[in-house]
Every structure is written in C-alpha cells, then in structure tokens.
C-alpha cells in the first residue's frame, strides 16, 4: 500500500483545480496535496480518487467530494495544536487532512465496519488521532470537551445541542443541516458566550444523513 508518482501528479492537478474553485488557504491545499486519497477508497475505484466527486465507501456511505473536504476544512481552518472534534470518521480521509494541519483530532463514527477500517488504515499510514470513538456523534465526546472547533461530515436534521455545548467559548462548528438533499444548508456556528451562539448560513450542501445511535 503505497503512494506513487502517478497519484502524486494527479493530486497536484486536483489541488491546482481546487485553487480555481475558491480554495485559497495554502496550508489546507498543502495538507490535501500530502494525503493519498486513493488509499482511502476501494482499489477498484482508485481512478476516481482525484476527481472532484464523492466516492462510495463501505456501509453505504460516501467519502465526500474533495472540494467539500477542502471547503469545510478551509471554513474551520484548524490550526496547530487546536482540539478538533470530527463527526463521521467514514474512510478516515478528512481525519488525515486535519492531522496534516497539526491539530489534535477526536473523531466519532457510528458504523462499526467503518470505525474498524479507518482505525486500521490511519495507523498503517502513520496518522494518529488523539481518540477514535465508535459512538453517536449527536452526543459528541463530553469527556474530552471543550473543543476549539467541530466539523460534522454528515447532514444533521438540526444543530445538536450537545455539540454546541462542547464548543469552547469563541469556538466554531461547521455543519450541514437539513433533512433532504435539496434542503441542506452548510451552517457555521460561533459560540459567543455560555448562552449565545451565532448561526451563519453558507449555502447549499449535499451530504449523507447523520443518523442516531451507533450501529454494529
């Protein structure tokens, strides 16, 4: 399981294209240029690794479009040493991108198959999240809260209260909200103080649904 010059070249082309699509944060682009996305998907689909589209992974889930990963990452812009909570580990790709930026990553996945696979793969590729949880993202990880930033990679029907409460004052969360595809909106939540948070809508989104309770 190796990276290769062929895929490095394709990755650099993808990064160039992402730049034309409004991804301008060089650190985020740098992280994306270093993570071998083709290793996070089934080898039969490797050829689709570096085009801007979502790719199916196990358990009827998808690895988000690289543009979406780049955009969400750019929006929360995780800095070195910041504590980031990710909801929806999936393939582990977004986790790897966050780790490339030097942040401390805590991640939750509700599907056992994906939890096990991503755990193995991240280790194999020498990516070390602080904590990988098999659990329910609606509940967050109270034992490790508060977090500087929270990134949700599945569409939630509402903004989960537990997640909002696990944000640091001054922290921010990026989350697609909405039930059906065409109603989903990307939202940014800024926690201003104990009681107040500001919600900003950032336009349409298209994610698999966030579902309650973990599933073995």
The residues annotated as belonging to the active site are: 64
Binding mask 133-172 toward ligand SAH (x if CB under 6 A, else -) reads: ---xxx--------------xx------------------
Q: What is the rounded distance in angstroms from the CA atom of residue 2 to the CA atom of residue 46? A: 12
Residues that bind ligand SAH (rule: CB under 6 A) add up to a total of 24
Taking residue 66's Cβ as centre, other Cβ atoms within 10 Å add up to 27
User: How far apart are CB 195 and ligand SAH at their closest, in Å?
Assistant: 26
Q: Please give the DSSP secondary-structure letter assigned to residue 102.
A: T
Task: Find the binder of ligand SAH among 11, 104, 110, 187 (CB under 6 A).
Answer: 110
State the Cα torsion 172-122-53-78 to the nearest 10°: 20
Q: How far apart are CA 12 and CA 40, in angstroms?
A: 17
- Min separation Cβ 13 and ligand SAH, Å: 20
Left (φ > 0), alpha (ψ -120 to 50) or beta: where does 88 sit?
A: left
CB of 21 to ligand SAH, least distance (A): 18
- Footprint on this chain of ligand SAH (rule: CB under 6 A): 61-64, 87-88, 90-91, 93-94, 108-111, 114, 136-138, 153-154, 208, 210-212
């Amino acid at each position: 399981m190796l990276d290769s010059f062929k895929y490095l070249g394709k990755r650099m082309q993808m990064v160039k294209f992402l730049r034309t699509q409004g991804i301008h944060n060089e650190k985020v682009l740098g992280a994306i240029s270093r993570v071998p996305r083709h290793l996070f998907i089934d080898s039969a689909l490797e050829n689709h690794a570096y085009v801007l589209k979502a790719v199916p992974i196990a358990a009827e889930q998808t690895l988000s479009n690289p543009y979406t990963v780049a955009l969400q990452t750019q929006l929360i812009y995780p800095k070195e040493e910041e504590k980031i909570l990710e909801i929806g580990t999936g393939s582990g790709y977004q986790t790897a991108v966050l780790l490339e930026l030097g942040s401390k990553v805590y991640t939750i996945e509700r599907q056992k198959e994906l939890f096990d696979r991503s755990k193995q793969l991240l280790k194999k590729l020498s990516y070390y999240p602080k904590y990988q949880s098999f659990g329910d993202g609606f509940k967050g990880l109270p034992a490790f809260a508060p977090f500087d930033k929270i990134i949700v990679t599945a569409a939630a029907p509402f903004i989960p209260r537990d997640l909002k409460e696990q944000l640091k004052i001054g922290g921010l969360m990026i989350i697609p909200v909405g039930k059906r595809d065409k109603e989903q909106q990307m939202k940014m939540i800024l926690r201003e103080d104990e009681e107040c948070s500001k919600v900003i809508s950032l336009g349409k989104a298209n994610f698999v649904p966030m579902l309650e309770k973990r599933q073995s």
